[in-house]
Amino acid sequence: MVFQEFNLFPWRTVIKNVTFGLEMAGVDHSECHERADEALSLVGLTDDAERYPDALSGGMRQRVGLARALAVEPGVLLMDEPFGALDARTRATLQRELLSIHSREQTTVLFVTHDIDEALLLADRVLVMVDDPNRIADQINIPFDRPRDSHTLETSSTFIELKRRVRTTFEDSTAAIS
C-alpha cells in the first residue's frame, strides 16, 4: 500500500524503510537488501539508500513509499491519493515513473485519486464514485494505448470528452442531491 502521507520511519534510512515490510515477513537479510536495491532502482533512488527521510524532498519520500510497496512484490498495489500532496512538477514526474514501472512490472494497481486528468492518464478503467450514498456512478474503459504520453494525450479530443463525461457524472450526482 502506498499512502497519501509518506509514513516513513524517521529513524531508519531509505534502504531500511524499504526493507521493513520484508523484515516483518521474515525474509532473510540478503534477500531483503537485494529486493530493496531493485525497488530503489525502479524509483530512481539508488544513490539515496543511506539517507534519512528528513533529508529527502516530498517527491523522494513518496518514491521511498512506492519502493517499500514494490519490494514485497505485491500482486496488487494499492495507492491512496499518493500524489495528492505533491507539487505539479513532482506529481507529473511520479506519474511518468508509475506508468514506466507498471509497464515493466505488470503489477495490478488500484489507484484512488480526486484528479480526473490523473485518473484518465494512469488507468485502464476508471470507476467514478459519488457520495449520495457512496456508489459507483460510472465505469469508463480507457481507450488509450500504452505507453502513454501525457502531453499528446491530454489535448486529444477523446481525452477531453472522457474528462467531460466524468465531470457531468459529478454534476448530475450533485444536482440529484439538491
- Which run of H or E residues covers position 141? strand 134-141
116: exposed, middle or buried (Cβ count in 10 Å: 0-12, 13-18, 19+) = middle
Instruction: Give, for all 178 residues of the chain, the pLDDT tens digit.
Output: 887 788 899 999 999 999 999 999 999 999 999 999 999 998 889 999 999 999 999 889 988 999 999 899 888 989 998 888 788 888 888 888 888 888 888 889 999 999 999 999 999 999 999 886 788 999 999 999 988 888 889 999 999 999 999 999 888 876 554 4
According to DSSP H, which parts of 106-156 are helical? 116-122, 150-153
Quick one: the chain helix, strand, coil %, rounded to 5?
A: 55, 15, 30
Q: For position 174, what pLDDT does the model report? A: 66
Provide the whole-model pTM.
Answer: 0.82
- Which run of H or E residues covers position 76? strand 76-80
For the chain, the straight-line distance linking the first and the last C-alpha, in angstroms and rounded, comes to 36
Q: For position 35, what pLDDT does the model report? A: 94
Superfamily of domain 1-112: P-loop containing nucleotide triphosphate hydrolases (3.40.50.300)
131 close to 100: Cβ distance less than 8 angstroms: no
46 close to 37: Cβ distance less than 8 angstroms: yes
- Give the bridge partners for 129, in sequence order: 136
- Which run of H or E residues covers position 61? helix 58-71
Domain-wise residue ranges, the chain: 1-112, 114-178
Distance CA 141, CA 111 (A): 15
Chain-centroid distance of CA 25 in Å reads: 23
Q: For position 178, what pLDDT does the model report? A: 45
Distance CA 93, CA 10 (A): 24
